[in-house]
Every structure is written in structure tokens, then in C-alpha cells.
Amino acid sequence: MTGGRQLAVVIMAAGKGKRMRDDLPKVLHEFGGKPMILWVVSLAEALQAKPVILVVGYQADRIKAALAGHDLQYVLQADPQGTAHAVRQAAPLLEGFAGDVAVLSGDVPAIALETLTGLVAKHRATGAAATLLAAETPDPAGYGRVITSAGGHLLKVVEDRDATPQEQAVKLVNTGVYVFKAEALLSSLALVNNDNKQNEYYLPDTLYILQERNRTVAVEKTADYRRVFGVNTKDELRKLHAEVFA
């Protein structure tokens, strides 16, 4: 599906997943009979992506063992400092790569291949430097709202607690899934800082950096909101399993 243009995938899989309340890395919890991370790796393979880079940290060797036999490259995020920090660990493996880079999370096992192919297609059709996957959800509380122009370009992502009443009424939210032109990702990652309350490096900051450089940031919308958000607890995992495999 790459249409002559190369596609790489970076999968964030370094977190312990404290809210799962056990010692198993979150991405190794089973969904539909196999580890969550294996579903995401299979999606990357179905996209014919190369390279596929996993950012690992907590119990990295256990994750690698679960994925033995797959053509993957690994980078270590030994001291997690946010999503941009995670992707930055993969930057050396992307130097000189001239295609597009999709950023996925290892705890989003149910996202449909058609959703990702639509995201890549939108990214390439618009010529955007970056494209954000947003979801229409009936209950957006707690999620960052995605505010777009009439033409569908991103105006801003505003956190729930910072949103005005008008913005809180917006049901389009950030899923944390992106596609970037490789050069746009690498150049903007280098400029992300941790000047925030959590002292972390946030990947959405790359979008604002690109916009400040007058680069286009596009938004692809999906109505399949149940399948595009990360799993944080065992209860969420059970609910997702029931919805997908009912």
C-alpha cells in the first residue's frame, strides 16, 4: 500500500503499565489470544513497513522474546520521559530515511488496518508534513480535543482541563496515532522541550513546531473510536475484547 513511497513504523512499547497492577509489561497482556504488541507488529507488517522499530524499556528482553522471528529493530528507552522522548530514541535509525514514518502504540491492539491505510493515504494526498488520527467519540471527556479548520487542517489540540466550554463540546479527540514525513519528524523532535508540569517531552508538540514553520498538519477522522485508544487497565482490556470479539 506504500504507493512507491517508503513507510517506516515506530511502535512505542517501553512502559510498564502500572495501572495493569502486575509485573507483566503492559504490551504483553493478551488480547484475542496473543500479546497486544503482536497485533500492532502484525499491522506494521501488513502495511509493508520497513524498518519497523520498537521502543522498549521495561522487561525489554521479555518483549523481544515474545516477538522472536519478526523482522524488527529495537531501541531502548531506559528512562521514560514522554512520547517525544520515546520516538527520539528511534531517530538514529531513521537518519537518511526519505519516506514517511507512522507512530503507533503497543497498547492499541484493535486498530483496524483500514484505519491506518486511510491515515497514510490522507497524509500523502494532502502533502502534509504530519497527519494526526482523530476520532469522533460520543463521550470526549478526558481526551484532548482536536480543533480543525474548515479545510480539515489542525488548528490546535487542547487538553480537556484547558478547554473552553465551546471546545469541550467538540467530540473530535486525539488518538495519539500519527504519520510524519521523516525529515519533518526528525527536525521537529530535536526542538521539543520539557517545559511543562510533568517535565516530559510530548510528541504532539512536534505538530505545533511544524505549524510554526508553515508546514501543513492534516487531520484524518475515524468514527471507529472504540478501537483506536490505548488500553490502560485490565478492565479496559476486557471491555475492548468483548467489543471486538463479541
Q: 3-class DSSP state for residue 72?
A: coil
Residues 6+ apart with CB under 8 A from 201: 81, 82, 83, 84, 85, 88, 192, 193, 194
Q: 3-class DSSP state for residue 215?
A: coil
What are the respective helix, strand and coil percentages of the chain, to the nearest 5? 35, 25, 40
Locate 42 and state its grid cell. Answer: 502484525
CA torsion through residues 93, 95, 100, 104, sign: positive
Instruction: In whole angstroms, give the CA distance from residue 240 to residue 130.
Output: 28
Q: 19 catalytic, yes or no? A: yes
Q: 73-76 and 154-158: which strand pairing? A: unpaired
Instruction: In whole angstroms, give the CA distance from residue 51 to residue 72.
Output: 7
Instruction: In whole angstroms, give the CA distance from residue 116 to residue 106.
Output: 14
Given 5, 19, 213, 226, the catalytic residue: 19
Q: Show which residues are catalytic.
A: 19
